[in-house]
């Protein structure tokens, strides 16, 4: 039996295969059992993309023709692996955020010592908006009068999604720099979108192949905005 679905109230449709088609479905079921077992044997803490691997296998399973009962069992097992992968990724990100906060503290203190009013940093916090708030709070605690922009790739070197967030204190706004304008200029350069106010803004871009160029763009806008003012 490969499918059981509801057609109408009190009526169900059952689909089944026989002979060669049935043998093929059994073989495919055995193959997916093996793939699922292999997936379950992977250590989630050592495989950052385990959730994506599980998602891809789940997609292949849904499209496959095999025993409906076996498909339901395998789907549940794959979903369990996917959940473990997501939880492991969260643990990994939490560790990365702690390291980033230490680095940010050092960089902000160095900027203050140099008399800087602005700072742009490439961070490793994924595309986690909650993590960005932790960074902002750390910056504001150390340097409440510093305009700051953080840029982070969802996966370092992937060329994929980036997160961009910024804060601009009132004293720096008076010099001509607005957080929402700063963010828009930076994200427009890579086809991204965001929003906010003169004091704070946040957004994302779906793809970015050159983070260094984005950082250079951010620093250039700062220099021009303050120079014009």
State which H helix or E strand residue 36 sits in: helix 19-40
Query: How high is the pLDDT of residue 38?
Result: 97
Please tell me whether residue 34 adopts helix, strand or coil conformation.
Answer: helix
**Which residues have a Cβ under 8 Å from the Cβ of 177 and sit 6 or more positions away?**
118, 147, 168, 222, 225, 226, 229
Pair of tokens at residue 66? 């095999």
Instruction: Note the pLDDT tens digit of each residue in 138-185.
Output: 999 999 999 999 999 988 888 889 999 999 999 999 999 999 999 999
Query: How high is the pLDDT of residue 227?
Result: 64
Backbone angles phi, psi at 202, to 5 degrees: -155, 150
Residue 70's Cα: distance from chain center in Å? 32
Distance CA 79, CA 172 (A): 49
Instruction: Note the pLDDT tens digit of each residue in 105-150.
Output: 999 999 999 999 999 999 999 888 889 999 999 999 999 999 999 9
- How confident is residue 98, by pLDDT bands cut at 50, 70 and 90? confident
**Which residues have a Cβ under 8 Å from the Cβ of 187 and sit 6 or more positions away?**
164, 193, 194, 203, 204, 205
Query: How high is the pLDDT of residue 229?
Result: 45
Distance CA 53, CA 35 (A): 11
Distance CA 58, CA 22 (A): 21
Instruction: Note the pLDDT tens digit of each residue in 40-76.
Output: 999 999 998 999 999 999 999 999 999 999 999 999 9
Distance CA 57, CA 74 (A): 10
For 29, 113, 203, the CA distances from 106, given in Å and listed in that order, are: 55, 11, 25
Residue reference for tokens 């009190």: 10
- Quick count: other Cβ atoms within 10 Å of Cβ 203? 20
Supply angle C-alpha 78, 83, 86, rounded to 5: 125
Question: Is beta strand 162-167 parallel, antiparallel or unpaired with respect to 200-205?
Answer: antiparallel
Among 51, 104, 113, smallest CA distance to 79 is for 51
Instruction: Note the pLDDT tens digit of each residue in 194-228.
Output: 999 999 999 999 999 999 999 999 999 998 888 65
State which H helix or E strand residue 7 sits in: strand 3-8
Prediction pTM value? 0.69
DSSP symbol at 210: -
């Amino acid at each position: 039996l490969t499918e059981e679905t509801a057609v109408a109230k009190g009526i169900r449709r059952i689909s089944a295969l026989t002979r060669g088609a049935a043998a093929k479905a059994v073989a495919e079921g055995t193959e997916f059992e093996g793939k699922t077992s292999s997936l379950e044997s992977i250590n989630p803490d050592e495989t950052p993309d385990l959730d994506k691997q599980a998602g891809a296998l789940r997609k292949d399973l849904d499209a496959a023709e095999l025993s409906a009962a076996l498909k339901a069992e395998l789907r549940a097992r794959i979903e369990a692996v996917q959940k473990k992968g997501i939880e492991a990724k969260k643990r990994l990100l939490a560790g990365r955020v702690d390291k980033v906060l230490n680095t940010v503290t050092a960089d902000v203190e160095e900027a203050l010592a140099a008399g800087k009013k602005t700072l742009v940093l490439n961070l490793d916090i994924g595309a986690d908006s909650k993590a960005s708030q932790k960074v902002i709070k750390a910056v504001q605690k150390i340097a409440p009068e510093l305009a700051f922009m953080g840029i982070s790739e969802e996966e370092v070197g992937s060329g994929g999604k980036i997160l961009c967030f910024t804060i601009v204190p009132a004293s720096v706004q008076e010099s001509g720099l607005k957080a929402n304008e700063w963010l828009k200029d930076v994200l427009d350069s890579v086809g991204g979108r965001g929003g906010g106010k003169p004091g704070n803004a946040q957004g994302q871009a779906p793809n970015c192949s050159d983070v260094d160029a984005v950082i250079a763009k951010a620093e250039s806008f700062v220099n021009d905005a303050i120079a014009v003012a």
